[in-house]
Structure 1
Amino acid sequence: MTTNPVAMNIVSGEGYAVRLDHENDCVHLAGSLRLDGLSEYAPISSLLDQALHDRSELTLDLRELEFLNSSGIATLSKFVISARNHQDCALRIRGSNEIAWQGKSLNNLKRLMPALELTFD
């Protein structure tokens, strides 16, 4: 896993990239995230936590995230709980109808945060 030391707004590795777009209050996740355990997801968790602070709205754009393993789903779930507890920030997640895992897994996040706005393109 590598991070962009210049911007610290990108976490990337073999086959994936997570990018914080400050201008549009959006985090884009793309590729295939198959990291080994929650500890390897720590840089992504930090970027998500950074994105949550000082914003009234935040969008997670997962439309280009082809695969997310169970540790990644756990990381995303923990982030949604954190966003739920950070009541002054509305969270939106954009998924893709074309990527099979997203339908069931992302819908389960609404159980953790009923106010979550979830859309599929």
Structure 2
Amino acid sequence: MKSLEGDGYRAAYDRERGCVFLEGSLRLNGLTEYAPISALLDEALEGSDRLELNLTRLEFLNSSGIATLSKFVINARNRKTCILTIRGSNAVPWQGKSLNNLKRLMPSLELVLE
């Protein structure tokens, strides 16, 4: 498992399960600071035709983080062969609205809110 940790957050890619986990609170400044997370997402995308992004334990994501996720979803859509599932939580207020907007970028996206 490859992982990144920072102030209040953890990002991990489990290649065996085909799953990326984002946990905690992501409050990085701008796309430049999100570059390592973006690289982890891109690496996961290259490694599989079926990928899950698990956000159930991601309590906060700022606008730069949402832009990073949007870019990732567009990259997945452009691959045309990728089956992408995003798993979120109804208990985390920002996720319902923000994650639903990602389906506009990739209509085939499977969104699971628990």
Please give the TM-score of this superposition, normalised by the length of structure 1: 0.92
Name structure 1 gaps, 5 residues minimum.
1-6
SS of aligned partner of 1:55 = coil
Matched-pair identity in % = 64
SS of aligned partner of 1:119 = strand
Count of aligned positions: 114
CA-atom RMSD, angstroms?
0.8
Name segments (4+ residues, structure 1) moved above 2 Å. Answer: none
SS of aligned partner of 2:37 = helix
Structure 1 residues 7-48: Cα deviation after superposition (integer angstroms, max 9, x where no partner)? 6x2111010000001110000000000000000000000000
Please give the TM-score of this superposition, normalised by the length of structure 2: 0.98
Name structure 2 gaps, 5 residues minimum.
none
Q: Does 2:78 correspond to 1:85? A: yes
SS of aligned partner of 2:20 = strand
- Aligned mate of 1:59, from 45, 49, 52: 52
Alignment of 1:15-30 (within 5 A): 15-30=8-23
Q: Does 2:103 correspond to 1:110? A: yes
